[in-house]
Amino acid sequence: MSRMHELARLSEEERRHIVTDFFDDVFGGLSIDPDFEGRMRSVVPDLPDEPTATQIDAWIELATLVGDAGFRQRIRQMAQDHSAARQRGEQPGAGTEATQAGVAMVAERAGAALAAGVDPVSAEGQAVLAELLADWAAAAQTVDSAEFRAGLLTNLESGTDRRAERYWQLLGIINGWPPIPTVVPAFEWLIAALRFGGF
C-alpha cells in the first residue's frame, strides 16, 4: 500500500495523533504561552464522513507537511523565538488589535504594490513602506523609528513562512472553512523593503 493511500485511510484518532506528535515535537521543552499553545493544539483536521477528493488531497498534503523534518525545524525555530521572548519578560502577540491592523495594512498595501510590480527597493516602494509603517506605528501607539523597524523586521523574519501559511490553508480545506487568502508574498515584499530601507 502506498504512503498516500495509507494516509487517506487513517482513522480520526490516527489523524489527530499525527498533528499532536507534530506539536509535541515543535513545542516540547519550551516556554510557550499556554493560551497560544492551547489554541494551536485545539485546531485539528476533521475530515467529514464522506470527504471530497479535494479534502482527501489536502489531508495527505498536510500529513506530509507536518512530517517533513525541514518544516518541523522551521516551526521549532519560531517556537524558540517565542519562548526566548517570554523569558525576556516580553509578551509575544501582545497588542493584538495593533497587530491585526498591521497585518491588514500589509495585505492591502504591500499586496497592492506587489501586484502592481512595484520593486520594494525602488523610490515608489520605499514610499509605500514609509506610509505603511507610519500608520502601523500609530496603531501600536508609537512612532516609526529605527527601534520600531528593527523589532518589526525581526518579528517578520521569524514568523513569515509560506509553508506555515499553507498549513492553515490545508486545515481550512479539510475542515470546510472559508478559503484562507495567501498573504505571505505581501509580507515577503515588506521584509525586502525593510531590509533595504535601513534603520
For the segment 145-199, what is each residue's pLDDT rounded down to a tens digit? 999 999 999 999 999 999 999 999 999 999 999 999 999 999 999 999 999 987 7
Find the mean pLDDT for residues 101-120. Answer: 97
Looking up cell 505581501 gives 186
User: For residues 19 and 167, what is the distance between their CA atoms, to the nearest angstrom?
Assistant: 11
Cell of 19: 498533528
User: For residues 80 and 31, what is the distance between their CA atoms, to the nearest angstrom?
Assistant: 8
Which sequence spans correspond to the domains of the chain? 1-94, 95-199
Is the pLDDT at 72 greater than 60? The verdict is yes
* ∠ Cα 163 111 90 (to 5°): 60
Q: What is the pLDDT of residue 12?
A: 85
Cell of 198: 535601513
Is the pLDDT at 126 greater than 50? The verdict is yes
User: For residues 5 and 39, what is the distance between their CA atoms, to the nearest angstrom?
Assistant: 30
Burial (Cβ within 10 Å: 0-12, 13-18, ≥19) of residue 16? middle
User: For residues 75 and 37, what is the distance between their CA atoms, to the nearest angstrom?
Assistant: 13
Q: Is the dihedral of CA 91, 193, 138, 162 positive or negative?
A: negative
Q: What is the pLDDT of residue 183?
A: 97
Q: What is the pLDDT of residue 42?
A: 94
| pTM greater than 0.85 | yes
Per cent of the chain over pLDDT 90 is 82
- 43 and 61 Cβ atoms separated by less than 8 Å: no
